[in-house]
């Protein structure tokens, strides 16, 4: 009798643990390959930074953070904001505080990711709206406060850029930005090496109609809320979510 009770006990335990394990597995979502950060541009806390008051490139989030602290501002989020040249100058259009510091590049042939067509422009307006458009569709006007040109476009009108090849072995840590249907901006960086197609597909799956690749290899992010900082190399333009501290 005792043996029967023991056997029944173990059978019951097996099924209860097994069932519990299956239930837990179904409830858990697979870990994302990406880290993302959503910004509402209408809050007007998002800005682009390149050089400090001495006209020297910031080159790192830490340098920008220190400069902002002197202005009683807190850095909430930062991401490298576009491909740059060896001297940290932007490659292509760059607008900061309404001033065009580098002109739009309409060159379509050259070495590097910037020239994978179409490339594009990510810009913010005085009204607090964010847009991403292919370079050929960009038209400058006085309402544009910030802009950076990079490439390639990842998603165009809801479709993955046809120049991006599924299954490509061109793998890098990559970061980019997309516009969500509600007008908010989705910034994302891959946790591990990823190809262009899979990176673009992530933005598409999140509902972004348009998304732009910002850079790779040097890609990094800083998110104060969860104390997350993925370091990389030196950077050129920095896109930052900043809040002014009360007096």
Mean pLDDT per 10-residue interval, the chain, length 247 residues? 45 37 40 92 97 94 95 96 90 96 93 94 98 97 97 98 96 97 97 96 98 93 80 86 89
Contact (Cβ atoms closer than 8 angstroms) between residue 33 and residue 190: yes
Predicted pLDDT of residue 112: 85
For residue 134, the SS3 value is strand
- CB neighbours (10 Å) of residue 13? 10
Predicted pLDDT of residue 233: 72
Q: Given strand 210-216, what is the order of strands in its sheet?
A: 34-39, 185-190, 174-179, 210-216, 153-156, 159-160
Predicted pLDDT of residue 199: 98
Q: What is the pTM (predicted TM-score) of this model? A: 0.85
Strand partners of residue 75: 242
Predicted pLDDT of residue 107: 92
Contact (Cβ atoms closer than 8 angstroms) between residue 96 and residue 149: no
Please report, for the chain, the start and end positions of each structural domain, with discontinuous segments joined by +. 1-30, 34-244
Predicted pLDDT of residue 232: 64
- Beta-sheet pairing, 174-179 with 46-49: unpaired
For residue 234, the SS3 value is coil
Backbone angles phi, psi at 174, to 5 degrees: -135, 155
């Amino acid at each position: 009798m005792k043996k029967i009770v023991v056997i029944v006990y173990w059978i019951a335990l097996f099924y209860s643990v097994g069932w519990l394990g299956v239930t837990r597995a179904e409830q858990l979502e697979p870990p994302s390959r990406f880290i993302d950060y959503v910004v509402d541009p209408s809050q007007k806390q998002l800005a682009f930074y390149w050089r400090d008051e001495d006209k020297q490139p910031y080159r790192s989030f830490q340098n920008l953070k220190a400069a902002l602290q002197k202005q009683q501002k807190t850095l909430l989020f930062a991401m490298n904001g576009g491909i740059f040249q060896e001297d940290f100058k932007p490659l292509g259009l760059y607008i900061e505080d309404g001033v065009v510091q580098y002109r739009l590049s309409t060159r379509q042939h050259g070495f590097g990711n910037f020239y994978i067509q179409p490339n594009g422009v990510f810009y913010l307006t005085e009204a607090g709206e964010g847009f991403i458009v292919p370079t050929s569709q960009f038209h400058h006007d006085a309402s544009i406060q910030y802009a950076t040109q990079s490439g390639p476009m990842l998603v165009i009108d809801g479709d993955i850029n046809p120049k991006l090849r599924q299954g490509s072995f061109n793998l890098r840590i990559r970061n980019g930005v997309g516009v969500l249907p509600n007008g908010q901006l989705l910034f994302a960086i891959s946790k591990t090496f990823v190809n262009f197609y899979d990176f673009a597909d992530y933005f598409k799956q999140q509902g972004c109609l348009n998304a732009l690749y910002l850079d790779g290899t040097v890609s990094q992010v800083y998110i104060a809320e969860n104390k997350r900082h993925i370091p990389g190399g030196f950077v050129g333009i920095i896109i930052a979510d900043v809040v002014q501290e009360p007096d």
